[in-house]
Amino acid sequence: MSTRDTKCPEREGASSSATRTGAGAVRTAAQAGLAGKLLSLQRTHGNRYARQVAEKLGGAGEKAKGDGKLDSKIETREAEVVGGIVGGIIGGAVGFAVGGPVGAVVGGGAGIILGAVVGHLLARKTLTINITKVEGSTRSTTVDDASKVLEDAANVKISVGKVKTLTKAESEAAIGTDLVLDEFSTPGSPTAEEVALTAINRTPDTITAYFVKAMSAGSHGEAFRPSAFPTVPPSVAIKNGDSPFVAGKPLAHELCHILLDKGTHPSDTKNLMSYSNDGVGLTPDEVKKVRSSSFVK
């Protein structure tokens, strides 16, 4: 189904004070030997997982009830909690050996955060997609924003496989000299331009994303699911710009049409599959389905 989405606010905010406290504690625990590793993991991976575990352990997670975004994390959060507990025990023991009772407390805290990060990484899966950039697209061929949306929703990272940038001549040969992709009006019946475009830059059993300047019916993006488009290889097309949506939502949304094998849009405005600007959550069932998709490894 094509997506005619039209609104978009700001991204989610920065790290919480609880996480900052954790990081501060770690700095004083340099002798526990965990600080360097933890800080580098936090730097590369962000602090929100530690915050989530802290919420879970402290019961503060109840506040998140009704928020599809946080509810959707239940599955992978279990790995974080287990990692946190194991890390806490090890960190505590190491801290005690190095710094006595105070070291145990500091080391235990560091271990909980480090364990949570490790647990999260172990539960992470990857969706590899090819990217084809068509003449007129201003989009980067990196997909960090969409990957962040999908990581937050289902702990699935998007990795970029084969990248192909079409020349003007190649682009015009596929979608015409206007460089506007002619959109299908009936699911299962792709236009000639869509057929020509989606034949380019393929790898078996891999979704290819096509970045175009614009789309004929004004859609933000469209998805070609194998069950709805048996004659088209699994593909999504996205036009320039994510505004007014949260950055990355259009691509993550279209990809999830394929991963969920579903063309409908829920009314829950917190859901990634809704038409809302800022809905980026998935239900627990959707998280399971996304993570068990044949495209996700």
Give me the residues that bind Zn ion (CB under 5 A), please: 3
Paired strand residues for 186: 189
CA-nearest of 125, 96, 136 to 259 is 125
- In the complex, minimum distance from the CB of residue 67 to Zn ion, in angstroms, rounded to a whole number: 21
Shortest distance, CB of residue 152 to Zn ion, whole angstroms? 18
In the complex with Zn ion, the residue whose CB is nearer, 3 or 198, is 3
Q: How far is the CB of 250 from Zn ion (least distance, A)?
A: 9
Rg (alpha carbons) of the chain, rounded to whole number: 22
Angle, alpha carbons 114-117-120 (nearest 5°): 150
| Closest C-alpha among 278, 237, 244 to residue 258 | 237
Q: Toward Zn ion, which CB reaches closer, 182 or 254? A: 254
Q: Which two tokens stand for residue 232?
A: 């088209």
Q: Which is nearer to Zn ion, 3 or 171 (CB)?
A: 3
Shortest Cβ distance from residue 5 to Zn ion (Å)? 7
CA angle 63, 65, 67 (to 5 degrees): 105
Cβ atoms of 248 and 242 within 8 Å: the answer is yes
Task: Give SS3 for 222.
Answer: strand
- Indicate the residue among 193 and 254 with the shorter CB distance to Zn ion: 254
Q: What is the Cα–Cα distance from 229 to 188, expressed in whole angstroms?
A: 4
Minimum CB separation from Zn ion for residue 274, in Å? 9
Q: Give me the least distance between CB of 265 and Zn ion, in Å please.
A: 6
Question: Distance from CA of residue 202 to its chain's centroid?
Answer: 22
Q: Which is nearer to Zn ion, 96 or 245 (CB)?
A: 245
What residue is closest to Zn ion based on CB?
Answer: 3
Per-position DSSP letters for 90-153, written without gaps between them: HHHHHHHHHHHHHHHHHHHHHHHHHHHHHHHHHH-EEEEEEEEEPTT----S--HHHHHHHHHH
Which C-beta is closer to Zn ion: that of 200 or that of 252? 252
CB of 150 to Zn ion, least distance (A): 15
